[in-house]
């Protein structure tokens, strides 16, 4: 019985090595994502891993719908099997994917909340305990700027991860149907990247100007509020109001230019994606059907999946534009982290109790 034990021991070692390799691969994947998407480094690794897993399951929903679409068209052309069974299969699959989508929304919102809480902890710690004169933060940063990071950076980076997975799932499924037509759709779907190269630096430049104007407006509001009691003494109401309004105008104009540039970039990217990613590949697809290279059901399945070549790419580049709008704010936050040392207030720290105050050699 010695040989079976040796074989079992060797197999166990192989299994152990495989599990270690999987664990190392998972750790490498998570560390890579956290390094690339610095905002997500404040989330536990298991949440990121679970989000990627549930995103992969959710992304297969469109593949499932495209497959059902193909089955229905093929059944219409040449009925085979039971239509009722096909309907029940489709409904059951959609219910399962609906449950997965609900879980996705739960983990998504949990990650966003975790990041936002951590960012506010670090900013609060800096505000109270550090406040280096080279990097100043105010009420605008603690409210407006951090909210911009939440809505335009954290959400966008989670969206990029999901859409990237959905894009890969659609590509693989389409290649199984027809690799040539899938290749045409794939090449065409990367057209929006050209527009991103053009508009990306412009959006960052506009965002920096808006961030400065917004900070200046907040300072002006605070100064006006602090000095409102002495305005009457100098009869300066008109000049103070005019100064405040002009500052507000400059801030709103800067924000308008940022939003306008981002909106124009999105619209041009969308138009280019539809022309190059839908019209031209559709022409090739119809040509292949007429020639008899593929069935109509296969073409419609790939065309359905092609939306997930185009839409995720559009959403990814739109999300990248949103991230770029927060670049000045995030750079400022990174400076805060550098001075802060990345440490937060320890709630369990015993700071002692206040027993009294003694003053000596004080004159009034």
259-275 tens-digit pLDDT: 898 888 888 888 887 88
pLDDT confidence of residue 135: 61
Q: Answer whether residue 359 shows pLDDT above 70.
A: no
130-186 tens-digit pLDDT: 665 556 666 667 777 777 777 778 888 898 999 999 888 888 888 888 888 888 887
Closest listed residue to residue 176, CA positions, set 288, 308, 285, 63: 63
pLDDT confidence of residue 162: 92
Closest listed residue to residue 141, CA positions, set 287, 336, 273: 336
Q: Give the list of residues 6+ apart from residue 328 with CB closer than 8 angstroms, or none.
A: 207, 208, 211, 212
Phi/psi zone of residue 349: left (φ > 0), alpha (ψ -120 to 50 degrees), beta? beta
d(CA 128, CA 138): 11
Q: Give the list of residues 6+ apart from residue 84 with CB closer than 8 angstroms, or none.
A: none
Q: DSSP 3-state assignment of 190?
A: coil
d(CA 159, CA 149): 14
294-345 tens-digit pLDDT: 888 888 888 888 777 777 877 888 888 888 777 777 787 777 777 665 444 4
Q: pTM score, two decimals?
A: 0.60
Instruction: Kindly state the average pLDDT of the residues 59-72.
Output: 90
Helix-strand-coil percent breakdown of the chain, rounded to 5? 85, 0, 15
């Amino acid at each position: 019985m010695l040989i079976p034990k040796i074989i079992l021991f060797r197999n166990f070692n192989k299994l152990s090595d495989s599990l270690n390799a999987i664990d190392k691969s998972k750790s490498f994947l998570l560390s890579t994502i956290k390094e690339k998407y610095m905002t997500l480094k404040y989330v536990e690794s298991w949440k990121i891993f679970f989000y990627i897993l549930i995103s992969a399951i959710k992304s297969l929903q469109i593949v499932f719908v495209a497959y059902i679409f193909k089955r229905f068209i093929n059944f219409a052309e040449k009925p085979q099997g039971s239509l009722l069974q096909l309907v029940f299969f489709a409904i059951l699959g959609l219910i399962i994917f609906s449950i997965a989508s609900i879980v996705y929304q739960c983990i998504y919102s949990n990650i966003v909340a975790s990041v936002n809480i951590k960012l506010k902890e670090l900013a609060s710690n800096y505000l109270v305990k550090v406040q280096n004169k080279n990097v100043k933060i105010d009420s605008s940063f603690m409210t407006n700027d951090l909210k911009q990071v939440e809505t335009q950076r954290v959400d966008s980076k989670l969206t990029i991860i999901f859409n990237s997975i959905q894009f890969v799932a659609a590509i693989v499924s389409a290649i199984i149907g027809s690799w040539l037509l899938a290749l045409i759709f794939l090449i065409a779907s990367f057209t929006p990247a050209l527009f991103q190269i053009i508009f990306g630096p412009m959006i960052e430049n506009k965002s920096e100007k808006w961030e400065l104007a917004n900070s200046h407006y907040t300072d002006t509001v605070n100064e006006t509020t602090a000095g409102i009691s002495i305005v009457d003494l100098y009869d300066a109401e008109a000049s103070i109001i005019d100064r405040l309004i002009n500052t507000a105008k400059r801030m709103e104009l800067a924000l308008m230019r940022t939003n306008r540039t981002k909106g124009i970039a999105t619209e041009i990217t969308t138009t280019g994606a539809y022309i190059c990613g839908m019209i031209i590949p559709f022409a090739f697809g119809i040509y292949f059907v007429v020639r008899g290279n593929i069935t109509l059901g296969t073409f419609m399945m790939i065309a359905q999946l092609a939306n997930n070549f185009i839409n995720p790419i559009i959403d990814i580049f739109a999300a990248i534009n949103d991230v770029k709008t927060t670049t000045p704010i995030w750079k400022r936050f990174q400076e805060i982290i550098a001075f802060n040392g990345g440490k937060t207030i320890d709630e369990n720290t015993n700071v002692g109790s206040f027993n009294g105050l003694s003053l000596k050699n004080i004159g009034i």
